[in-house]
Amino acid sequence: MSPLKFECETGNYHTFCPISCVAWLYQKISDSFFLVIGTKTCGYFLQNALGVMIFAEPRYAMAELEEGDISAQLHDFDELKRLCFQIQQDRNPSVLVWIGTCTTEIIKMDLEGMAPKIEAMIDVPIIVARANGLDYAFTQGEDTVLAAMAHRCPVVQGQKGEASLAQPERRSFARPEGRRVAEALPASQQPSLVLFGSLPSSVAQQLTRELESQGITISGWLPEARYEELPELGPGVFVCGVHPFLSRTATTLMRRRKCQLIGAPFPIGPDGTRAWIEKICQVFDISPKNLDERESQIWENLKDYLSLMKSKSVFFMGDNLLEISLARFLIRCGMIVYEIGIPYMDKRFQASELNFLEKTCNEMNVPIPRIVEKPDNWNQIQRIRALQPDLVITGLAHSNPLEARGITTKWSVEFTFAQIHGFTNARDILELVTRPLRRNNHLKDLGWSKLVTGSHGCGDLLDQKVAQ
């Protein structure tokens, strides 16, 4: 019986629209082109959220729906065909990703039906991902794209020959925990391992090397830096996720591509990275080498930051699904977490991470935080006022107002864009977490930490009769 308690609130919270995943995915998959089929609202969001990236001739665009498209006066098939031909001529991508939005859902535009026909006409693969705000939050956008992309990965070669590795219960949801696959095989005969989740190439490289140093070779990543290099999938292929928000992709890989999922904590923080490697080693029946030293060396290097964090309290408002892993890491760093807000909690995909969180709380002897799914920001702000945490990890909509009220904040989206995976980047996470604390240390004697009076704006000119 797990002492973890899950609550669910109203879902009135602030997060980014999942179409924001194009921002990092178009950069990751360098031969792709993302077409977001939506309205001005979607375009406005992307334009403002992506800031300067917009000006760099990005490989994404809006197919902006106009009134004629909504009222079906225009034929959506012909319209999309026209735009896709144009993109194919101007940019010649290796893959086109259509991002379905709220509008295409509501008007029931049959994107999955149209894609294969247009694909045949322009001779460029078209992947359809429904990354809309009706169903998903922020990082889950990547999940929908990768789940769609999983269908396009080539079938594993020589599958028949490796069939001996296949085991009958493979198709079940059961994770291969504790089950030893084959006897310690030389690398060449190991079953292949594919990691899923989009990471900057240097971070992917670092994780790859961590596993290589344990004698595990990775046969590919979903996604790779180029669409044409997508890894081979099939029965007998082991898969492991690097992000906590990839539950649909995991399900697709298991159910549709018959891969075996390794359920592990996520490689965020040195504790997470170690647990992640250990789990993979365990599945491949390898006893991990040097992990103890490796981890303690990293912790040693973090000492200066840890002293700043000791016994400080944190409140996660929740908007990007990294919250459980980050909270677990921060607890291990000596912090006290009051609340973990999270948009969506897949208890099966995150099972190992949740166990790890519980274990960490027990080991650090701190109370287990409340986990709030679909939080209500208004309620959360009342709780923050009551608890007065030392740090609130939240979106930009609430950061400045909280700071003005003397509550220290860290902008949560930075955790999505910063490099936070693996041993090497543990310091980067703490760099982010401690930045507001270090700022506080610098400014602490100035006496202006609370900066709200109640009135604002130039209407005050009238109230105060400012004399010029």
Partner 1 sequence: MKLAYWMYAGPAHIGTLRVASSFKNVHAIMHAPLGDDYFNVMRSMLERERDFTPVTASIVDRHVLARGSQEKVVENLTRKDQQEKPDLIVLTPTCTSSILQEDLQNFVERAAGTSTHSDILLADVNHYRVNEFQAADRTLEQIIAFYLGKIEKDTASTVSDRTKKTKEPSVNILGVFTLGFHHQHDCREIYRLLKDLGIQVNLILPEGCRVTDLKKIPEAWLNIVPYREMGLMAAQYLEKQYNMPYIATTPMGLVETASWIRQICDLLQSLGPLVTPLRDSAKYIDQQTRFVSQAAWFSRSIDCQNLTGKKALVFGDGTHAAAMTKILVREMGINVCCAGTYCQHDGDWFREQVQGFCDQVLITDDHTKVGNMIAQIEPAAIFGTQMERHVGKRLDIPCGVISAPIHIQNFPLSYRPFLGYEGANQIADLVYNSFTLGMEDHLLEIFGGHDVKTVITKNLSTDQGGASHLIWTSSAQTELQKIPGFVRNRIQRNTEKFARSKKIQEITVEVMYAAKEALAG
Which residues contribute to the annotated binding site? 17, 42, 102
Rounded-to-integer distance, Cα 193 and Cα 195, Å: 7
Rounded-to-integer distance, Cα 37 and Cα 131, Å: 10
CB nearer to partner 1: pick between 47 and 157:
47
CB nearer to partner 1: pick between 69 and 143:
69
Angle, vertex CA 363, rays to CA 359 and CA 368, nearest 5: 60
Q: Is 288 helix (H, G, I), strand (E, B) or coil?
A: coil
Query: Residue 86 has which token pair?
Result: 């144009």
CB nearer to partner 1: pick between 6 and 411:
411
Distance of closest approach, residue 176 Cβ to partner 1, in angstroms: 30
Place of tokens 């082109």: 33
Fill in the amino acid letter for 359: K
CB nearer to partner 1: pick between 133 and 197:
133
CB nearer to partner 1: pick between 378 and 417:
378
What residue numbers does the annotated binding site for [4Fe-4S] cluster cover?
17, 42, 102
Rounded-to-integer distance, Cα 6 and Cα 370, Å: 7
Distance of closest approach, residue 419 Cβ to partner 1, in angstroms: 10
Distance of closest approach, residue 17 Cβ to partner 1, in angstroms: 3
CB nearer to partner 1: pick between 48 and 188:
48
Distance of closest approach, residue 461 Cβ to partner 1, in angstroms: 5
Number of helical H runs and strand E runs in the chain: 19, 14
Give Cα separations from 423 to 209, 360, 417 (angstroms): 11, 18, 17
Query: Residue 75 has which token pair?
Result: 């034929």
Distance of closest approach, residue 107 Cβ to partner 1, in angstroms: 6
Distance of closest approach, residue 239 Cβ to partner 1, in angstroms: 25
Fill in the amino acid letter for 28: K
Distance of closest approach, residue 304 Cβ to partner 1, in angstroms: 8
Is the separation of the CB atoms in 393 and 418 below 8 Å?
no
Is the separation of the CB atoms in 222 and 268 below 8 Å?
no
Rounded-to-integer distance, Cα 325 and Cα 336, Å: 14
Distance of closest approach, residue 159 Cβ to partner 1, in angstroms: 32
Q: From start to end of 131-281, where are the E strands?
A: 193-196, 220-222, 238-241, 260-261
CB nearer to partner 1: pick between 60 and 415:
60
| DSSP tag of 266 | -
Please give the helix or strand (H or E) that residue 36 lies within, else none. strand 32-38
| DSSP tag of 443 | H
- 390: β partners: none
- 317: β partners: none
CB nearer to partner 1: pick between 16 and 356:
16
